[in-house]
């Protein structure tokens, strides 16, 4: 490895998601091509043994090295993917092998930057690397992560989150967005954008981009909350204070807040804001409506309120968002 290459170690284990271990190397491999070989990464797939590893897709992958071998090296980036099991009711559960968790903890101590993709966040959390930090994972296991690791501030909305030298990414294809963000952090936005073009990615999404739309969130098990969600989405431009929603549901405001936190993992006000941001995003992406019209349609009341919500939830402004994500014809 030349002094201009950065060692990236990707953790392998039985049942690992295939795209999680193949997507990032595709991104990293293009850096040298886009910089004429001046700089780039050395990617090493590491496992407990040198035997073949069977991924969730049934494809077998051969490691380049063992965990013990790479533990003797200075690692720039440790990338931890995940694995899940799905029960008979199609409920998804993230898996954490204690042996793999132990090696992740060991390797992290020799690593400049630790990252997870998809449900790999569960392995980082089990290794104690996310305590006191904000983190994301695939939306289907976010509640599990929060329940099993109360010391982690789980945010299931962004496609990736950076907390110092610890990065966590959301589900499946978001591994490409996280990898591009790592490239941008290492070699600049211009290189990352050239790599994105080579991958035929229409754009490089910012970390604040939501990994799912509000109307597609996992449904609640409580009929009352489902009724409230539909009421909110059907009256998004109207008055939707906690008091209004509590009156609609015939419960007290404190009880309403407890119900929302238990069923949806957020307060009623936070849910209303996220729904309004979703409406505004759709308008920005698919129409030429002015900000004033979007404010009216989404129920934000003022342009300042809309801008603050976008900065808080997406890390950008409505105008910047439209420039990045506006769908164009032809």
Distance CA 26, CA 9 (A): 14
Say which CATH number the domain at 259 has. 1.10.10.60
176 with 271, same domain: the answer is no
Residue 208 counted as domain residue: no
pLDDT value of residue 121 = 97
45 with 166, same domain: the answer is yes
pLDDT value of residue 210 = 52
Looking at 172, 198, 224, the residue that finishes a domain is 198
DSSP labels, 220-252: PS-HHHHHHHHHHHHTTTS---HHHHHHHHTS-
pLDDT value of residue 153 = 94
CB 298 within 8 A of CB 292: no
Nearest Cα neighbor of 81 from 33, 127, 116 is 116
Residue 203 counted as domain residue: no
For 6-37, the pLDDT digits (tens) are 999 999 999 999 999 999 999 999 998 888 87
Looking at 153, 174, 198, the residue that finishes a domain is 198
230 lies in which domain range?
214-325
Length of the chain: 330
Looking at 150, 168, 198, the residue that finishes a domain is 198
86 with 131, same domain: the answer is yes
136 with 252, same domain: the answer is no
pTM (predicted TM-score):
0.66
Number of domains making up the chain: 2
DSSP labels, 55-113: -TTS-EE--SEEHHHHTTS-EEEEEE---EEE-TT--EEE---HHHHHHHHHHHTTEEE
Residue 313 counted as domain residue: yes
68 with 182, same domain: the answer is yes
Mean pLDDT, the chain cut into blocks of 10 residues (330 residues total) = 77 96 94 86 97 96 98 97 90 95 98 96 98 93 95 88 93 84 89 82 49 47 77 92 94 92 87 92 87 95 94 87 60
pLDDT value of residue 325 = 66
E-state strands within the chain: 5-11, 40-47, 53-54, 60-61, 65-66, 75-80, 84-86, 92-94, 111-116, 134-135, 153-154, 160-163, 166-169
110 with 158, same domain: the answer is yes
118 with 161, same domain: the answer is yes
18 with 164, same domain: the answer is yes
CB 18 within 8 A of CB 59: yes
DSSP code for 218: P
Residue 330 counted as domain residue: no
């Amino acid at each position: 490895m030349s002094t201009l290459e950065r060692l990236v170690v990707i953790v392998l284990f039985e049942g690992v998601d295939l795209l999680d271990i193949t997507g990032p190397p595709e991104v990293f491999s293009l850096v040298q091509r886009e910089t004429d070989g001046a700089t780039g990464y050395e990617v090493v797939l590491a496992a407990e043994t040198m035997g073949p590893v069977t991924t969730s897709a049934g494809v077998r992958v051969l490691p380049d090295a063992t965990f013990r071998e790479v533990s003797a090296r200075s690692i720039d980036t440790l990338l931890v993917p995940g694995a899940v099991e799905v029960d008979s009711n199609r409920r998804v559960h993230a898996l954490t092998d204690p042996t793999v968790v132990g090696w992740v903890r060991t390797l992290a101590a020799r690593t400049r930057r630790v990252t997870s993709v998809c449900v790999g966040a569960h392995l980082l959390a089990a290794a104690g690397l996310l305590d006191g930090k904000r983190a994301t994972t695939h939306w289907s296991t976010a509640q599990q992560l929060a329940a099993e690791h109360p010391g982690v501030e789980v945010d299931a909305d962004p496609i990736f989150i950076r907390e110092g030298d610890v990065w966590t990414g959301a589900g499946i294809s978001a591994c490409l967005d996280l990898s591009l963000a790592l490239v941008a952090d290492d070699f600049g936005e211009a290189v990352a954008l050239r790599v994105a073009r080579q991958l035929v990615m229409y754009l490089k999404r910012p970390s604040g981009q939501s990994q799912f739309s509000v109307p597609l969130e996992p449904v609640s098990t409580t009929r009352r909350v489902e009724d409230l969600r539909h009421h909110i989405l059907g009256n998004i431009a109207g008055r939707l204070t906690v008091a209004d929603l509590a009156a609609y549901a015939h419960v007290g405001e404190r009880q309403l807040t407890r119900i929302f936190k238990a069923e949806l993992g957020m307060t009623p006000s936070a849910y209303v804001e996220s729904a309004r941001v979703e409406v505004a995003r759709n308008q920005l992406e698919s129409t030429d409506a002015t900000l004033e019209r979007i404010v009216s349609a989404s129920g934000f009341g003022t342009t300042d309120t809309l801008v603050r919500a976008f900065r808080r939830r997406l890390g950008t402004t409505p105008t910047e968002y439209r420039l990045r994500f506006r769908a164009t014809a032809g």
